[in-house]
A = this chain, B = another copy of it.
């Protein structure tokens, strides 16, 4: 799957991923209204609203983007009905040949990580039948529990031709609280990065590993070091745009081949219609605003990075 991701990025000349993280407050009035008319102001109604919102954005951008990254928390907050919208979104994106990175940040002791891996990127056995319940292409994984929390994901990915991105340095403000603490003169994120590189070398696609890393756009100095430590690792870069990361900061995350990183934008794309810059589209044409924001993002990155 990492090979397919690299191919799509090259073909579209777009090292970007759209974060499908639909807060209800992003969903235009008319979509919410239609959903509530059908299902009431219920969790089912909320699920329908975010699903219709996603669908319109995917329809308007699918020819431009290699991948989407739905943040499962934004669906899980609406319980079962929200998770149904998550699953519909995953399936719909895959039907459009968009690669799906499930931003699930799971990670637990071995047998439990095995269950998460089976449910999200693998298969479960029920009697004589087997099923792929959520069936994302990639998922994000939290490394706090060490190798035996991550390895089950890698094992499943090898079998199923899928991949993971391990949290190394996150984009948020307080990420340094534990991740930056020095261990033998090296910050924890470097130690995690070294481990990711090691896992990665043992699990290679053609030119990149299917064990990737998450490194926030908000810390370009650290991105530079981590790029060097993890040369064969694809880096998923959150924090561009709304979180403050600029295209000019992104260069260190890429390798000299122009590959090696994929930059996420969530709010900046899916809620583009609420920005002054795209206000002319109007709320009704939110999906076209998102399309324009994707075009602008690709242009911003390719002209500032390469």
Interface positions of A (Cβ within 8 A of B):
21, 23-24, 32, 36, 41-43, 45-46, 71, 73-74, 76-80, 82-84, 87, 105-113, 115-116, 118-120, 124-129, 131, 133-134, 142-149, 167, 170-179, 181-184, 188, 191-192, 195, 238
CB-based contact A107/B108 at 8 Å: no
CA distance A95 to B131 in the complex (A): 32
Contact B43 A133 (CB under 8 A): yes
Residues of B within 8 A of A188 (CB): 178, 181, 183, 188
Copies of the protein in its oligomer: 2
Greatest chain B CB density within 10 A among A32, A124, A238 is at A124
Residues of B within 8 A of A149 (CB): 170, 172, 174
A41 / chain B contacts, CB cutoff of 8 Å: 126-129
CA–CA, A62 and B158, complex, Å: 42
Given known A-B contacts A144-B179, A146-B179, A131 and B43 have beta carbons under 8 A apart: yes
Known A76-B116, A148-B173; 4 more pairs at CB < 8 Å: A45-B126, A71-B115, A107-B142, A146-B174
Q: Which residues of B contact A87 (CB under 8 A)?
A: 79-80
Best-buried of A87, A142, A145, A170 by chain B (most CB within 10 Å): A145
A78–B122 alpha-carbon span in the complex (Å): 11
Task: Give chain B residues whose Cβ lies under 8 Å from the Cβ of A112.
Answer: 21, 71, 73-74
> Shortest CB–CB separation between residue A73 and chain B, in angstroms?
4
**CB proximity of A245 to chain B, nearest CB, Å:** 13
Contact check, A133 vs B183: say whether CB atoms are below 8 A apart: no
Q: Is the CB of B127 within 8 A of A78?
A: no
Check if A73 sits within 8 Å of B106, measured CB to CB: yes
CB neighbours of A191 from chain B (8 A): 178, 181
Chain B residues near A192 (CB, 8 Å)? 178
Q: Which residue of B lies closest to A81 (CB)?
A: B133
Please name 16 pairs of A and B residues whose Cβ atoms are closer than 8 Å in the assembled complex, sorted by A. A21-B112, A43-B131, A45-B126, A45-B127, A46-B126, A76-B115, A79-B119, A79-B133, A105-B107, A105-B142, A107-B142, A109-B238, A143-B144, A145-B175, A146-B176, A148-B174
